Structure 1
Amino acid sequence: MKFKEFVKNSRLRPWDIPIILLLCLLSFLPLVIFGITRQSPATTESKIAVLRINGDEVKRFSLVEGKKSYTYRYENEDGDYNVIEIAGDKVRITEADCGDQVCVRRGWAEKDGDTIVCLPHKLVIEIQDGTGGGDDGLIY
């Protein structure tokens, strides 16, 4: 069956096909709009990793691509510890004395909103976009 026969035998009106095509094209409009407004982060944008213990903010680390890798050791009053590695624009826990080691197996966190959680130590590391809230308390 050819296209003309299909149109002739179906109950399509002359403007139905252009309207259907227009609606199909417009269905991609949200994808285009959100793609433009949320472009991939540039290397100059800053991210921060916020270390919280039991809900209280303890430390902030600036995450800058190309920055030299370093570690930070958090130890609580009971002697429990976590070793946090910051390498450029990503962060991870490399060592912990908790039993389950879920925080160590989590690996690198590098995108805005990523979290690393160590439940036995009540420790949370969250990646945040540093452009929204100023840079008070950032460590460079």
Structure 2
Amino acid sequence: MKLKDFAKNSLLRPWDGIIVLILVLLSFAPVVVFSLNRATSPTQEAVLSVDGKKIKTFDLTDSSQAYTYRYEDADGDYNLIEVKGKRIRIKEADCGDQICVRRGWIDQSGETIVCLPHKLLIEIKSSDGGEPGSVIY
């Protein structure tokens, strides 16, 4: 079968390919919009709270900073928190399950690290007061 015969018998028309190509390109538009929004996002901070009480706030705006903070409760249980650039993690803890340590780095607004045995929560919040994951234009 020749190409001309195939084109005559096919249900596809010349503009169909162009329309499909345009739709495929438009499917990547959200990726572009959200990556531009993330690049211009406001400053972020990580809030450490234990049993619902705010203990400390870590500023995550300076990309050159690197330090550790040791939280220790009255029973002697501890969590070693590491801040490196614009991200934060629990580097070491003396809890049994180590889920908080295995969680790794977080750097997005709304992300959390939880250590249930110590009732510890680290949450990244946007300084503009917006909801986690909200888009600001």
Which TM-score tier does this pair reach, normalised by the shorter chain? 0.7 to 0.9
Normalising by structure 1, we get a TM-score of 0.72
* Preserved CA contact (<8 Å) 1:43 1:65: no
* Preserved CA contact (<8 Å) 1:66 1:88: yes
Secondary structure in 1 aligned to 2:36? coil
* Preserved CA contact (<8 Å) 1:73 1:84: yes
Structure 1 gaps, min length 5: 135-140
- Looking at structure 1, the residues matched to 16 and 72 of structure 2 have their Cα atoms a distance apart, in angstroms, of 65
RMSD: 2.8
Q: Report how many residues are paired.
A: 130
- Looking at structure 1, the residues matched to 62 and 38 of structure 2 have their Cα atoms a distance apart, in angstroms, of 11
User: What is aligned with 2:85?
Assistant: 88
- Looking at structure 2, the residues matched to 73 and 119 of structure 1 have their Cα atoms a distance apart, in angstroms, of 17
Q: Go from structure 1 to structure 2 and tell me whether the alpha carbon gap of 1:2 and 1:32 turns closer, same or farther (over 3 Å shift).
A: farther
Output the amino acid matched with 1:81: Y
Q: How does 1:23-102 map to 2 (within 5 A)?
A: 23-39=20-36, 41-42=38-39, 45-102=42-99
* Preserved CA contact (<8 Å) 1:117 1:124: yes
User: What is aligned with 1:137?
Assistant: none
Normalising by structure 2, we get a TM-score of 0.73
User: What is aligned with 1:6?
Assistant: 6
Among all aligned residue pairs of Structure 1 and Structure 2, give the percentage whose two residues are the same amino acid.
48
